[in-house]
Amino acid sequence: MGCRWWETNLAHLVTINFEADIRHLVKDSPSILFWILSAQAPGTFIVHDAARYSVFMTPYFPAYESPADFSVARCERMLRAALGERHLPLRITSLSNWTMQAHIAEPYSKGRAFLVGDAAHRFPPTGGLGLNTGAADAHNLAWKLALVMNGKAGKGLLGTYGDERKPVAEANSRVSVANHQKMGQVTAALGLDEAGLPKLARLRASAPARVLPRALRSVLKRLLIAPVEARTRKVQQASSARFAGIRHDVQRAAAAQMAHFNTLGLDLGYVYRSAAICASGTATPLAPTTSHPVLEVAQSFTPGARLPHFRLQGTAGAPATSHDLVGNARFLLAGFGRHGKPCAALGRSVSQALGVPVHGLDLDAITHCDDRPQLRAWNGGLPDAAILVRPDGHVAWRYALQAQVGPDEVLAALCEILQVPVPVSAC
């Protein structure tokens, strides 16, 4: 496709997949991720199944070593050192290597080809944002492709895919990189020099070191890392008031990594800006705001934002929340206040005029009584609104004027979004 990449290589790692029962090691602090701050075996455990299968990732430094230097025997020694048990039964099932990267493609599409998921962007795993971003890429593109291929929308609609998704990838990439860099605060609080690891790799790669017997190399390595390991143990055990203070600093630095593990705002809080979002019909602009955009979602009916989540009232088997109303390859036209009742009929008439499924309904009639006050709050305090929601759950258009909404306003908005002319018969 002739794409350019915004490229940053952040780290190089060897991945060790192994089988072992480590339940006794993690029972007091069950988790998926464990960071090992050790000069002897630095890295991260991903515990998929503590009784059977885990992964250990450890850095390597291409200037001085390559993945070929990590033999099965060496990796087994590192594993045992990181686990802290020399005689634990374990079996390495595979070794691989990868580069932690931050890549964004430019452009996202060319002609009939579209980049989705890892083909369009790669992030560091610090934040776990890659999979959700890729799934949302596909979610964004699928309904647009379907409408264009079925002749219901202009080809320009496909151009909004990159306009909407690339800014999301850029934001997620920035946070992922920041998370990776921020983790250095933990090692800094512990008093460890991260620059020491490549120095060890450089020493191992030196000509004198390579000619020494392995046993002697091991002795020299232990002598070099012994002060670092001793300091780490003293901090862990809080063996004095000084080391207890350092341990407190480490715990505080670890607690500051919350954005690494809670990214609800990034996953659900983005607001699209493109030609597939219609800003007309809005009395006053709304802009969702939150003091923690990574952690929190500021819900609203702002065009481009995700439809807010609220409860519905009804019988068993009926939709339970607002999110159950969207999807199914159709648009949703939902109103409340003076625009509520007209929306049901408007949905049918607009659908017939364009041949595009539009489901109309009155939110006042189906919203749970406890959540109805939120409708006005999400509408900037205004009592009336008609909301056009896309098949991917994002608000495409909001009408909040006092004049009753009619078919002309809805048709004009939907035709602008689909990039098709308003049918003459509907004018």
Per-residue pLDDT tens digits for 159-213: 999 999 999 999 999 999 888 888 888 888 877 777 777 777 776 777 776 777 7
What is the reported pLDDT for 3?
53
369-to-96, 142, 373 alpha-carbon distances in Å: 55, 35, 8
d(CA 229, CA 222) in angstroms, rounded, equals 9
**Residues shown for the chain:** 427
- DSSP per-residue codes, 395-415: EEEEE--SSPP-HHHHHHHHH
Helices (H), 284-362: 340-354
Per-residue burial over 253-270, b = 16 or more CB atoms within 10 Å of its CB, e = otherwise: beeebebbeebebbbbbb
What is the reported pLDDT for 182?
86
Confidence of residue 279 (pLDDT cuts 50, 70, 90): confident
What's the predicted TM-score (pTM) here? 0.85
Distance of CA 233 to the CA centre of its chain: 35
Q: Which residues contact 427 (CB under 8 A, 6 or more apart)?
A: 408
Instruction: Cite the beta strand spans of 260-404 per DSSP E.
Output: 331-336, 358-362, 385-389, 395-399
- All structural domains of the chain, each given as residue ranges with its CATH number in brackets, are 4-261 (3.30.9.10), 269-426 (3.40.30.120)
Nearest Cα neighbor of 358 from 384, 385, 334, 336 is 334
Per-residue pLDDT tens digits for 132-171: 999 999 999 999 999 999 999 999 999 999 999 999 999 9
